[in-house]
Amino acid sequence: MTLTGMKKHVGVLEQAGLVSTEKVGRVRTCKLGLRGLEEEAAWIERYRQLWAARFDELDIVVEELKRKEKANGRKKRK
């Protein structure tokens, strides 16, 4: 990887809050915010589970609507 490529790469990680960097003289030191990454993954997964649970309930409601529609004999031709 070129130095410019590396800079860009680190820049993206830094923007995402996954690493922090500090420049002292000519040297830029990177600190890895790995915990931040894990935390983010964990809450995204929790958020996903919430929505998955929600959508499972939505499926039940929608199935009921489908059955009702069928029972009412409403047929819509495509």
Partner 1 sequence: MDVRRESEATPTKNRTGVERKSERELVVTRTVNAPARLVFEAWTKAELFRRWWVPKSYGLTLLSCEMDVRVGGQYRLVFRHEDSTMEFFGTYLEVTPHSRLVWTNEEGDNGKTVTTVTFDENAGKTLLVVHDLYPSKEALDSGSTDAMPEALDQLDELLASLGSSTETQ
Instruction: Catalog residues that contact partner 1 under the rule CB under 8 A.
Output: 15-16, 40, 43-44, 46-63, 65-66, 69
Quickly count: other Cβ atoms within 10 Å of residue 68's Cβ.
10
Q: Whole-number minimum distance, CB 6 to partner 1, in Å?
A: 22
The angle formed by the CA atoms of residues 63, 64 and 66, to the nearest 5 degrees, is 65
**Residue 47 · residue 63 · CB < 8 Å:** no
Instruction: State the nearest-atom distance from the C-beta of 26 to partner 1, in Å.
Output: 30
Which stretches of the chain are DSSP H helices? 3-15, 34-71
Minimum Å gap between C-beta 44 and partner 1 is 5
Measured from the CB atom, the residue of 32 and 64 that comes closer to partner 1 is 64
Q: Based on CB atoms, which residue is closest to partner 1, 38 or 69?
A: 69
CA distance linking residue 62 with residue 69, whole number of Å: 10
Residue 6 or 62: the one with the smaller Cβ distance to partner 1 is 62
